[in-house]
Chain A
């Protein structure tokens, strides 16, 4: 069994594999990614830190590229700030 870490995504607790990216955790959770200024849904495109489409607030720090962050125990992610 791989190690699991517990995180909170948009208020809901989720368990994900240690070492997964935060973007992957958001995809597995029930939350969508952020919306654009005009209300369109956004989601990860490049997976390598270039397109900035996967941004979310992580541990209070806004506009983090979640495809470039690994999940850590106790992490708090908000997709809609």
Chain B
């Protein structure tokens, strides 16, 4: 009883929507909880008969057995119709975790990115251990190489090799995508021939082949449920 008087009640009747919802503190013993439930259900009298009861265990891990035990108790003593636990809602908890992750990702999740600005001219080469961001252009005959992804905020007209030596998940993105050759991991593709176009495209691997798609149309990362580290 002492515990029940504290801020957080051991068991509480929360809403009677199309049934009875009882919020319990699953960390308490079944006996204690039964006592509390008795206090709640006795005053209800016949209202409890055949009622649909939902036992809400909050966001903690739901102990199936606890819900079963309490359900059996309620059915036997108060003739309730059905008793179920609230389907687990990990999302709320996970969302908070993920948000916390985002808030602190600078501390815990730094990506290794080489960020460069300028023009990579013929005969010049930039190599990045992981990701490479180039604010600038790669001229024909210029070369950029990365262990991870390559992002070119400008014209890519030279050679770009990402995911070196064998990361098939890496991508190559350019605002103006017209490389002479691209490599993703060990796969090689000749640059798209034809008229120069000014289009934001990206190359990625699909079924073991390099595919080039319109970046905004394909939105390769827009389907990710949550921002994640590359």
Tell me, yes or no, whether A binds B: no
Chain A residues within 8 Å of B, Cβ to Cβ = none
